[in-house]
Amino acid sequence: MRVQIISTLFYVVLVLLIIPTELIKPQQQGNLRGFVTDSTNGEALVFCNVFLKEINVGASTNERGLYLIKSIPSGKEYEVTVSYVGYKTKVFTAFVKPGMVTQLDVKLIPLSVELQTIEKVGEKVIHENTTDISLERISVKEIEIQPKGVETDIFRSLQYIPGVSTTGDVTAKFYVRGGSGDQNLILLNGVEIYNPFHSLGLFSVIDPDMINSIEFYKGGFTSEYNGRVSSVMDVISKDGNKNRIGFKGGLSFLTAKGLLEGPIPNGSFMITGRMSYSNEVLKNFFNEQTIPIDFYDLSFKLNYSSEDIFENAKFAVFGFLSNDNVDYQDPLREQFKWNNNLFGFEWLQIYDVPLFSRLGISLSTFEGEVIPNLSSLKPRYNEVKDFTISFDMNVVYENRDEIGLGLKLKTVDTKFSQTNFVGVQSNVEKFAGNLSLYGKYKFLQWKNFGLDAGTRFNVTGLSSQGGGFFEPRVSMTYRFLPSVAFQAAWGIYQQEMLTVSDESEIISIFDPWIITPDYLNPARSIHYIAGLDFDVSRGIRFSVEGYYKIIHYIPIVNDQKFTTSDPDLLSGTGESYGSELSLNYSLDPLNVTTSYALSWAYKEVDDWLYYPKYDARHAANIIVELNIGSGWIASSIWNFTSGYPFTEMIGFYDKYFLTNIYSSGQGSGEYNPYAYLGDKNIGRLPSYHRLDLSLIKRLTLFYANIELGVSIINVYDRANIFYFDRNTGEVVNMLPFLVTGTLKVEL
């Protein structure tokens, strides 16, 4: 049966590839395509708008800077307008030949520092029928001007998106629409990063300076993506300056970093590095405690393209390495260490059909360890080796409809060992492979209606019960008025990798990854999403979304494991639903974004229903950005979250603890106070709110572009409660009033 399905799918692929060009490209029409890049460094400009005035048709560039406009009446000249916020708009003329693809590559000139507006990307100017519900396109330049706890961090910026929550200032870990942290897929150039956090979860391992574009799906993601049941963050790194050698350096209270980039024959390169050098600022995060955090991350990328070898082809080799070590240099204290290593190869090809293809080969590894030494902690060790080959194709027809096909072969080797709190050991080792195929059809030929319908089929699974499973998905947009669009999405998702983490932990050091054990079904979720998008007037946009998500077979750590025969994990169920509203005003020099989310999240295991620790009923944000002029930019963020759940202490009782396990009777032990806990997460912490301010000055000194930034965190010094210490009853608060600074230099 599986062989027949694979044969049928590949037959469809073959038919698509051999369809005569004359059948899909009438001679009376032609096509226009090209790449839009930054004139100063050659980097792709993502989601840039390309517009043909005479026929009122346009397109936006994709994550590689490529645009394509199909079915243009041929034999005539057109005025082509290319625009991107923060760059000078360019107007060209292009003659479109019948039955041919006209190539028009464009280099846009960035506006000067004094004139440059606050960059907003991803605004739907051209595509009225794009099916992008629950998709956030994030600009690095935009988050760089926001207030910084220490330095710019892409994960911490997510908490200001409605539907995304975090459990405190001490962590950058995020939770999306009621899903747990391990249900979020983090991709760098299409390759999975298993532990994307530095400093006990405080910051992301991905340096913003290396990023070209970010797409973040809060739910309803289409069939290209698999392996997670909640959300996807797809990060594409920069290629490097194609015109000249350049250097960027940066300094914060925590790290020093640098980026070197430049051209090579028929290509470019980029190398980045970042390392911690001081821990003093972290005392503000850890209740004035000193933690010897030491970390670094490195990345590189080499790009090559030559028309003499393959026309419209691009090859890339990239790598990413990160390492963390927490060592107290004390035999009585524990040690933590973990690292990520990622290497990949990518071949992008554009054909004249037009057919687009991508071949990716990658190796992603993670290794983490808790070394207890003579402390009371228990040992833990985890190792993951992920080797993946993927191939994707996309065919675009004259009527703008598209067909997408792809396959992915993934092998994963995992090792995990730990000793739990009662001294029971667990050792899990597994090597498995997953072969999955996907196909989808995008109906885009009607200007006011768009549909993306497809499915992914898991031929084989990493877990014993993960194979032979379909994941159908559909999303649509109907624009019933020029300024109002209705959007909806539905999909089924499966996840076979999971983390073994205790939800009750205040700070999770690292989350070990394993393949779903054979005695459990892999986690599976169903998303239901619908919303309205209003273009109220020029510069004002309003959107509202509602969602419902059900997750079956959630693996939950068994805190009643007392023997080696007891299972490490139990199977539970999760449910979440809510609504999200956002209003954006963006007219130079002011940008204001307000958002509000109302949500509910539940988990159930062994017929016990409870709130997960990241369930917050209300969340609101107000972000204001002002381009003052002369290189000055000011911004502020105020955010509010109603109280998170926690397990209350009902009282104390005297518990007898053995002090001498080799004797009995009087003197062999002692009574100490022991906390008596109520029902799990039945209590609620007080509401959280905070105001942050930032001021940035950009200037040019000799041959260097310099940026100085100052941020004030928690301006009115709100005492936001983080947790109650069960041993002492002490209230531990989050970040107090804090002033931080950053320096960037670009040569």
- Which CATH number fits the domain that encloses residue 621? 2.40.170.20
Per-residue tokens: 16? 């698509």
Q: How many CA atoms lie within 13 A of 337 on its CB side?
A: 7
- Residue 118 — pLDDT band, cuts 50, 70, 90? very low
656, with CB counted inside 10 A (0-12, 13-18, 19+), is exposed
Residues 648, 682 contacting (CB under 8 angstroms): yes
pLDDT at 176 over 90: yes
Residue 57, domain member (yes or no): yes
For residues 44 and 188, state if they share a domain: no
Phi, psi of 485 (to 5 degrees): -130, 140
pLDDT at 121 over 50: no
> What is the pLDDT, as a whole number, of residue 129?
67
Of the candidate ranges 11-15, 609-613, 628-632, 700-704, the one whose mean pLDDT is the lowest? 11-15
Of the candidate ranges 23-37, 60-74, 311-325, 623-637, the one whose mean pLDDT is the lowest? 23-37
> What is the pLDDT, as a whole number, of residue 95?
86
Residue 362, domain member (yes or no): yes
pLDDT at 93 over 70: yes
Q: What distance, in Å, lies between the first and last C-alpha atoms of the chain?
A: 60
Average pLDDT, the chain: 85
- Residue 316 — pLDDT band, cuts 50, 70, 90? very high
Q: From start to end of 397-522, where are the E strands? A: 402-419, 425-446, 449-460, 469-481, 484-495, 497-499, 513-515
Per DSSP, 116 falls in state P
Residue 676, domain member (yes or no): no
Taking residues 31-47, what's their average pLDDT? 84
Residues 221, 179 contacting (CB under 8 angstroms): no
Which of 108, 143, 158 terminates a domain? The answer is: 108
pLDDT at 544 over 90: yes
Of the candidate ranges 431-440, 506-515, 612-621, the one whose mean pLDDT is the lowest? 506-515
Q: Which amino acid is at 402?
A: E
150 or 716, greater pLDDT:
716
CA distance 726 to 724: 6
pLDDT at 575 over 50: yes
> What is the pLDDT, as a whole number, of residue 203?
85
pLDDT at 25 over 60: no
CATH number at residue 192: 2.170.130
- Residue 423 — pLDDT band, cuts 50, 70, 90? low
CA distance 9 to 663: 71
Tell me if the bond preceding 589 is cis, omega within 30° of 0: yes
> What is the pLDDT, as a whole number, of residue 116?
42
CA distance 487 to 124: 14
235 or 333, greater pLDDT:
235
CATH number at residue 103: 2.60.40.1120
> What is the pLDDT, as a whole number, of residue 692?
94
Q: Write down how long the chain is.
A: 747
Residues 365, 386 contacting (CB under 8 angstroms): yes
Residue 422's alpha-carbon distances to 142, 188, 378, 559, 571, in angstroms, are 48, 39, 10, 10, 22
For residues 531 and 393, state if they share a domain: yes
144 or 471, greater pLDDT:
471
pLDDT at 662 over 50: no
- Residue 567 — pLDDT band, cuts 50, 70, 90? confident
Taking residues 684-689, what's their average pLDDT? 91
Split into its structural domains, the chain has a count of 3
pLDDT at 11 over 70: no
Residues 44, 37 contacting (CB under 8 angstroms): yes
Per-residue tokens: 700? 């040019």
224 or 445, greater pLDDT:
224
735 or 341, greater pLDDT:
341
Nearest CA to 59 out of 131, 105, 126, 130 is that of 126
For residues 244 and 215, state if they share a domain: no
Beta strands across the sheet bearing 184-188: 135-138, 211-217, 231-237, 184-188, 191-192
pLDDT at 7 over 50: no
Where b means 16+ CB within 10 Å and e means fewer, 327-356 reads eeeeeebbbbbbbbbbbbebebbbeebbeb
For residues 223 and 241, state if they share a domain: no
Per-residue tokens: 300? 């590189």
Which of 165, 198, 233 terminates a domain? The answer is: 233
Taking residues 60-68, what's their average pLDDT? 82
Q: What angle do CA 142, 147, 148 make, to 5 degrees?
A: 105
pLDDT at 666 over 90: no
> What is the pLDDT, as a whole number, of residue 47?
81
Paired residues of 35 in beta bridges = 66
- Residue 659 — pLDDT band, cuts 50, 70, 90? low
> What is the pLDDT, as a whole number, of residue 673?
60
> What is the pLDDT, as a whole number, of residue 20?
40
Residue 742, domain member (yes or no): yes
pLDDT at 6 over 60: no
Residue 117, domain member (yes or no): no
For residues 532 and 518, state if they share a domain: yes
pTM of the model: 0.87
pLDDT at 24 over 80: no
Per DSSP, 126 falls in state S
For residues 492 and 580, state if they share a domain: yes
Give the domain extent around 454: 234-647+682-746
- Residue 90 — pLDDT band, cuts 50, 70, 90? confident
Residue 106's alpha-carbon distances to 59, 121, 212, in angstroms, are 14, 18, 18
For residues 601 and 497, state if they share a domain: yes
CA distance 318 to 268: 12
Highest mean pLDDT of the ranges 31-45, 117-131, 468-482, 494-508: 468-482
> What is the pLDDT, as a whole number, of residue 366?
95
Residue 104, domain member (yes or no): yes
Taking residues 225-251, what's their average pLDDT? 92
- Residue 327 — pLDDT band, cuts 50, 70, 90? confident
Paired residues of 460 in beta bridges = 435
Residue 668, domain member (yes or no): no
> What is the pLDDT, as a whole number, of residue 114?
39
Highest mean pLDDT of the ranges 82-96, 140-154, 523-537: 523-537
For residues 201 and 324, state if they share a domain: no
For 700-719, the pLDDT digits (tens) are 888 888 999 999 999 999 99
Residue 465, classed as helix, strand or coil, is: coil
Residue 425, domain member (yes or no): yes
- Residue 655 — pLDDT band, cuts 50, 70, 90? low
195, with CB counted inside 10 A (0-12, 13-18, 19+), is buried
pLDDT at 109 over 90: no
pLDDT at 115 over 70: no
- Residue 99 — pLDDT band, cuts 50, 70, 90? confident
For residues 406 and 505, state if they share a domain: yes
pLDDT at 13 over 50: no
1 or 267, greater pLDDT:
267
For the chain, percent of residues with pLDDT exceeding 70:
88
Residues 585, 591 contacting (CB under 8 angstroms): yes
Per-residue tokens: 366? 């993670």
Residues 496, 227 contacting (CB under 8 angstroms): yes
pLDDT at 516 over 50: yes
> What is the pLDDT, as a whole number, of residue 125?
44
Taking residues 722-744, what's their average pLDDT? 82
Per-residue tokens: 165? 């929550």
pLDDT at 78 over 90: no
For residues 391 and 440, state if they share a domain: yes
Which of 199, 233, 267 terminates a domain? The answer is: 233
pLDDT at 181 over 70: yes
Residues 131, 487 contacting (CB under 8 angstroms): yes
Phi, psi of 686 (to 5 degrees): -60, 160
Q: From start to end of 130-183, where are the E strands? A: 135-138, 164-165, 175-176
Per-residue tokens: 232? 């996807």
For residues 224 and 252, state if they share a domain: no
> What is the pLDDT, as a whole number, of residue 14?
42
For residues 306 and 183, state if they share a domain: no
